[in-house]
Amino acid sequence: MSRSLHIFNPSNLTFPKQPYPKPSSNRRLPATTFSPKLISIKASTSSDPNSSTSPQVLISNNGTGAGGILSSTTQDYDTPPSQSITSDSSSIEVDAVTEAELKENGFRSTRRTKLVCTIGPATCGFEELEALAVGGMNVARINMCHGTREWHRRVIERVRRLNEEKGFAVAIMMDTEGSEIHMGDLGGASSAKAEDGEIWTFSVRAFDSHRPERTVNVNYDGFAEDVKVGDELLVDGGMVRFEAMEKIGPDVKCRCTDPGLMLPRANVTFWRDGSLVRERNAMLPTISSKDWLDIDFGIAEGVDFIAISFVKSAEVITHLKSYIAARSRDSDIAVIAKIESIDSLKNLEEIIQASDGAMVARGDLGAQIPLEQVPAAQQNIVQICRQLNKPVIVASQLLESMIEYPTPTRAEVADVSEAVRQRADALMLSGESAMGQYPEKALAVLRSVSVRIEKWWREEKCHEAMELPVVGSSFSDSISEEICISAAKMANNLGVDALFVYTKTGHMASLLSRCRPDCPIFAFTSTTSVRRRLNLQWGLIPFRLSFSDDMEGNLNKTFSLLKARGMIKSGDLVIAVSDILQSIQVLIVP
């Protein structure tokens, strides 16, 4: 398939304009206090290791306020990171886009699927980044395959400034290059067109300034030795194909068999007798020496996620996690395993278990397994992630034609719909937002398709009965899981407007998200970095709020702050859980 072949381009069709107002920096309003009316169902438990009491369920209907039943306090969470807790305890932080969406469309129709945008030359400016944030970008991804560290540092700085000045909580994901084979940077050209039958030279020689015509450099020194005449070369996962004709020292002469556009640093794989050749490159380390430098850069910059390319085993993830833990004592960087190689499919469960999340990196995956196997792999990865309670991103070519055209193909819309229907946590734009002509339009398509499919799914009431195995290792963890499963079920049965979760580390929020309830989940956390990280997870609307161990006080404060901003109203029905008190509370907003 060629990137340049698009049969249908209806330029008169447009997607809906941004429904959101421009973000405002006036985000804080003073609190007023009042008591909520409370119907409480409480599973009172103690996680005190010295206590032998087993959990008991107390059901009470108490219209007088929250105080009476909220007695026991548990401390089963980790100590919260000390950094970035704002001292202003009378405020709540939520971004202007979410706030506007809640006010305009109500709780029910907020978008649950999260959106990741790869930042590149088309979107690296402050205004373009702001437009993406306004358009619903939850996570900005920087790909260390491209650009310099200085370039990436400036992008990170701008996203930070956007968060600080405009109240967004856009998280930053750094994606490593990995040590797979790729082409050089095309000497600064934005792309190179290969036509059918043309002879191109793939060379391990580095070209300083002048790149000879129809010649590309390959980054792997063993390339010319490993390739055999007759092998098939796939550029960019098969977007362009060649056949190896002749080897001359460091050069391999190849004939183009499937024409198309080659992008700088596109990946290269070679196939022999219908299967991928994994000779010496299979021995290359998952994390190269350049990747380690990039990881140090990511830690120093305090990125929220590090995505590791071409993961082969769980060990590399465990190793990286301990490296990060030793280097960055108070910031907690989540490690995302990119599933894009045959080896990662073989060790899928262990890899996902060891990681903080996964990415279905369909671009490279489709160059390593036959294309027709990619959809089944995607469904399997999404399902395992959900079962193991790890966020999952579906990535690559979701709206590929929008790199060039302002409207997607019907097939692309169907593909996005399928990922939403599978209830993946997040969808990702790659070239569409990094170097495409219509980044904001592509984001608007992801947004509108997500909202539409989610609504259809709720209307159809097609809750899949997915078995959710126990993921926690301690008894206290199991209690939290049961509470979240029950709270989500109650929320669906009672048709409540929102689930509230007060969480220090974000764990309780992720357990609720895993249940994929009908209503949105308002996640209150006291830490800015936890708030940003929760932005990757399905259905969570993360707020920053300082809260105490007194749940009655927390609820009063939250209701008054949200009411004052018009984000909830009297009579709304809410279910609240927390990692402070192991209970489920059903509340009517007073």
Residue 435 interacts, among Mg ion, ligand ATP, K ion, none and using kind-specific CB cut-offs from 5 to 8 Å, with ligand ATP
420 binds K ion, rule: CB under 5 A: no
Whether the CB-CB separation of 313 and 350 falls below 8 Å is answered with: yes
Please report, in angstroms and rounded to a whole number, the separation of the first and last CA atoms in the chain.
59
- The total of other beta-carbon atoms located within 10 Å of residue 560's CB is 20
Residue 40 interacts, among ligand ATP, Mg ion, K ion, none and using kind-specific CB cut-offs from 5 to 8 Å, with none
Secondary structure of residue 395 in the 3-state scheme: strand
Nearer to ligand PYR, 27 or 278 (CB): 278
Of residues 284 through 313, those in contact with ligand ATP by CB under 6 A are: 309
- Joined together, the tokens standing for residue 58 give 């107390």
Within 71-213, where are the H helices? 96-105, 126-134, 149-166
181 binds Mg ion, rule: CB under 5 A: no
332 binds Mg ion, rule: CB under 5 A: no
Nearest in space to 335 (alpha carbons), one of 304, 361, 310: 304
Query: Mask: binding to ligand PYR, 329-368, rule CB under 6 A, as x and -?
Result: ---------x-x--------------------xxxx----
d(CA 504, CA 525): 5
- Joined together, the tokens standing for residue 429 give 């734009």
Task: Provide the minimum distance between the beta carbon of 278 and ligand PYR in the complex, in angstroms, as a whole number.
Answer: 16
d(CA 16, CA 18): 7
What is the side-by-side strand order in the sheet with 232-235?
215-217, 199-203, 251-258, 240-248, 232-235, 268-272, 275-276
Nearer to ligand PYR, 236 or 440 (CB): 236
193 binds ligand ATP, rule: CB under 6 A: no
HSE at residue 246, side-chain half, CA atoms within 13 A, is 5
Which of the stretches 118-126, 269-277, 287-295, 462-470 binds ligand ATP when contact is defined by CB under 6 A? 118-126
Nearer to K ion, 69 or 367 (CB): 367
Nearer to ligand PYR, 427 or 589 (CB): 427
Nearer to ligand PYR, 94 or 395 (CB): 395
d(CA 383, CA 314): 18
Nearest in space to 302 (alpha carbons), one of 277, 325, 340, 333: 333
Nearer to ligand ATP, 151 or 271 (CB): 151
Of residues 311 through 370, those in contact with ligand ATP by CB under 6 A are: 363-364
Residue 431 interacts, among Mg ion, ligand PYR, ligand ATP, none and using kind-specific CB cut-offs from 5 to 8 Å, with ligand ATP
395 binds ligand PYR, rule: CB under 6 A: yes
- For 249-275, letters b (16+ CB in 10 Å) and e give ebebbbbbebbbbbbbbbbbbbbeeee
The residue nearest ligand ATP at its CB is: 430
Phi, psi at residue 528, to the nearest 5°? -60, -40
Task: Provide the minimum distance between the beta carbon of 292 and ligand PYR in the complex, in angstroms, as a whole number.
Answer: 19
Residue 396 interacts, among K ion, ligand PYR, Mg ion, none and using kind-specific CB cut-offs from 5 to 8 Å, with ligand PYR
Of residues 28 through 67, those in contact with Mg ion by CB under 5 A are: none
Rounded alpha-carbon distances, angstroms, from residue 540 to 96, 518, 532: 16, 12, 11
Which of the stretches 142-150, 401-409, 471-479, 489-497 binds K ion when contact is defined by CB under 5 A? 142-150
Whether the CB-CB separation of 488 and 515 falls below 8 Å is answered with: yes
Residue 263 interacts, among ligand PYR, ligand ATP, K ion, none and using kind-specific CB cut-offs from 5 to 8 Å, with ligand ATP
121 binds ligand ATP, rule: CB under 6 A: yes
HSE at residue 476, side-chain half, CA atoms within 13 A, is 20
- Joined together, the tokens standing for residue 75 give 């401390």
Task: Provide the minimum distance between the beta carbon of 147 and K ion in the complex, in angstroms, as a whole number.
Answer: 12
Residue 362 interacts, among Mg ion, ligand PYR, K ion, none and using kind-specific CB cut-offs from 5 to 8 Å, with ligand PYR
182 binds ligand PYR, rule: CB under 6 A: no
Q: Which parts of this chain interact with Mg ion (CB under 5 A)?
A: 340, 361, 363-364
Q: Which parts of this chain interact with K ion (CB under 5 A)?
A: 143, 145, 175, 309
Q: Which parts of this chain interact with ligand ATP (CB under 6 A)?
A: 118, 120-121, 143, 145-147, 175, 263-265, 309, 363-364, 430-431, 434-435
Q: Which parts of this chain interact with ligand PYR (CB under 6 A)?
A: 309, 338, 340, 361-364, 395-396, 430
